[in-house]
A = this chain, B = another copy of it.
Amino acid sequence: MKFKEETIKSDCIYKGKITEYWVDEVLLPNGKKSTRELVKHAGAVAIMPFTIDGKMIFVKQFRKAIEKTILEIPAGIIDKTDINPIETGKRELEEETGYQAKVFELETSFYSSPGFSNELLYIYRAEELTKIECPLAQDEDEFIELTTLSFEEAWTAYEEKLIIDAKTVFALFYWKMKRQLEQMNR
């Protein structure tokens, strides 16, 4: 079966700071034409920062797109000058939390919504955190508050829909599985 859609025409509708909106005209496998709405995004890196006592650090922030203040794992958009996602991740962890991590391992990566966007998100596990005396400054127009939660507290936040975005829900289920494994190996 042939799946690929050939681009006939590609229109840039808007170039924003973090997204570009394009509308493509495509040729479908059956020979018909259709349009595709595409949101181009540089990609992002998120970090699951585990503290020494087995808690996780979250950031509380307002998200205009959903008009809600929610709890998320630290994350940031990949910068053009970043050599690789781990560089983005380490910088964002430091900027948003003031911590550096000795262990920084890629756990997964996924497209957040490939039906319309090419945003690719990398998720790292950070462990052995150390507080930095003079951390990188937060972005000037970023208003965030840090919260460190135990698994039970985070799960409650999830049930209360304070944790409700893809990367943080993934982090929570990952954490649940990690605890299960630790229990099995005990």
- List residues of chain B with CB within 8 A of the CB of A41: 116
CA distance A118 to B165 in the complex (A): 10
Per-position contact with B for A48-87: 1 when CB-CB < 8 Å, else 0? 0000000000001111111011101000010000000000
What is the CA–CA distance of A4 and B67 in the complex, to the nearest angstrom? Answer: 8
* Chain B proximity of A179: nearest CB distance (Å): 10
Complex: A109 Cα to B183 Cα, angstroms: 27
Binding stretch for chain B, among A17-25, A94-102, A125-133, A149-157 = A17-25
For residue A158, which residue of chain B has the nearest CB?
B108
Is A145 part of the contact surface with B, judged by Cβ < 8 Å? Answer: yes
Q: Does A166 contact B (CB under 8 A)?
A: yes
Which residues of B lie under 8 Å from residue A62 when comparing CB positions? 3-5
